[in-house]
Amino acid sequence: MIKVWGISVSYYTGKLEAYLRYKGVPYVMDNPFACQDHIKEKAGAVQVPIIEREDGSFLSDSTPTIQLMEQEFVESGETDRMVFPTDPVVRFIALLIEDYADEWLWRSAMSYRWSNENDRELLTSILTDELTNHVKAPRFIRRRMVKKRQLARYVAGDGVTETTRAHVDETFLNAMRVMLSMLENRPYLLGDTPSIADIGMMGPMLRHYSQDPTPSTIMRNEWPAITEWVARVWNARATAGETSLLDHVPDDAAPMLREIAQTHLVQHRENARAFSAGQSRFEMTVQGCHYKNLPVTQYRVYCLERLREEFDDLSDEHKAKVQALLPYEGCDLIWDHTVQAKSGHDVERKAPFAHGINVV
């Protein structure tokens, strides 16, 4: 039994829970914010989710945590329900989709939650009770604190304005559109069982888009196949058979990869440039929409570093296949290091045992 320090409506907690459920790993979940000093000492930062094992070790950062656990399953001979494709090219594309889900869809998921009144009031109530019960102040004051913080940090502080809001909202619709092009042909994005691509997409799709009032209504009424996919991944342990992932990247993945090139990789490029220049804010133009005053994040530079490392580890033959799958403008960011990506985070690659940093 492991402990997951997490939040019931958290983006990345939902992602990790989807993985643990699929693998049949028993866990209990607890709120980390009343134990912040203890967690910060052990894990470096209070970023949910964090796993605390029975041996006292702490694992933080969902992607390397899942990678470590998959490696441990293989080493122990438990190779059932693996989420990383064995084909190196499919594996790389799956990790690219996961990174897109983790780092690009975040903005629209948070915007839907905090820009819409019904969503904002519901989630303020939930988070007030989960995040601030240890704070000695009346509940109405704690509610006000939570609402003000979330709006300032995740809407106004992340480039969501009257000018950009329509494009931010469209990001959600585009994600469902490109997913559907793949799910029309099989139950999961890259096979008959879930891959790390599905687990990654559960971050935004589970706890935000499929549960928050405004996006869940859109998904349920206009994109019921995506609603069905969310439930399918959540219940995959009971319904999916033995591991069955594709040994090639299907043609129907092209719309997804094009969307990633036009959005996620643009953000990676401009964030890395700004970080390298020592800036704290940056601008970018994505699909014709100009975003201003975005926060530069060290963690996203680290994500780009990890993607580049995954690509560099491929054989020349597999690199050529990945490049053929990514002919879109801007995709050379992955293999062309003209734009520097040196985050200074986890230099020794100890993650998920490395001390975490603030992701946003």
pLDDT value for 337: 96
pLDDT value for 39: 85
Tell me the C-alpha distance between 349 and 289, whole Å: 36
Region of 25 (left: φ > 0; alpha: ψ -120 to 50; beta: rest) is beta
Which residues, in sequence order, are CB contacts of 327 under 8 Å at separation 6+? Answer: none
**Cβ atoms of 297 and 359 closer than 8 Å:** yes
pLDDT value for 48: 87
pLDDT at 334 over 80: yes
pLDDT value for 355: 78
217-235 residue pLDDT tens: 999 999 999 999 999 999 9
CA 94 and chain centroid, separation: 12
Q: Looking at this protein, which amino acid is placed at residue 64?
A: P
Please, what is the Cα angle at 326 between 257 and 194, to 5 degrees?
45
pLDDT value for 343: 97
pLDDT value for 360: 61
Tell me the C-alpha distance between 295 and 298, whole Å: 10
pLDDT category at 312 given cuts 50, 70, 90 is: very high
Cite the DSSP H helix spans in the chain.
11-23, 36-43, 62-75, 88-103, 105-115, 117-131, 139-154, 165-183, 196-204, 213-222, 224-234, 236-239, 254-262, 264-276, 298-312, 316-325
Directed axis angle between helix 11-23 and helix 224-234, to 10°? Answer: 60
144-190 residue pLDDT tens: 999 999 999 999 999 999 999 999 999 999 999 999 999 999 999 99
Q: What value does the mean pLDDT of the chain take?
A: 95
CA 52 and chain centroid, separation: 20
In this prediction the pTM is: 0.96
What is the pLDDT averaged over residues 330-355? 94
pLDDT greater at residue 198 or residue 60: 198
What is the pLDDT averaged over residues 120-133? 93
pLDDT at 353 over 80: yes
Residue with tokens 């040994």: 247
pLDDT at 45 over 80: no
First to last CA, the chain: 30
For every residue of 268-279, DSSP letters joined together read: HHHHHHHHHTT-
Query: Does residue 49 have a cis peptide bond before it, meaning omega lies within 30 degrees of 0?
Result: yes
Beta bridge partners of 52: 3, 58
Tell me the C-alpha distance between 48 and 12, whole Å: 7
What is the pLDDT averaged over residues 204-225? 98
Tell me the C-alpha distance between 301 and 346, whole Å: 11
For residue 197, which of 306, 63, 49 has the smallest C-alpha distance? 63
pLDDT at 24 over 80: yes
**Cβ atoms of 147 and 120 closer than 8 Å:** yes
Residue ranges and CATH numbers for the domains of the chain are 2-82 (3.40.30.10), 101-165+187-246 (1.20.1050)
pLDDT value for 43: 79
CA neighbours within 13 Å on the CB side: how many for 39? 23
Helix (H, G, I), strand (E, B) or coil at 5: strand
Helix (H, G, I), strand (E, B) or coil at 245: strand
pLDDT at 359 over 70: no
CA neighbours within 13 Å on the CB side: how many for 352? 23
Phi, psi of 289 (to 5 degrees): -100, 125
pLDDT value for 265: 98
Percent of the chain scoring above 70 in pLDDT: 99
pLDDT category at 34 given cuts 50, 70, 90 is: confident
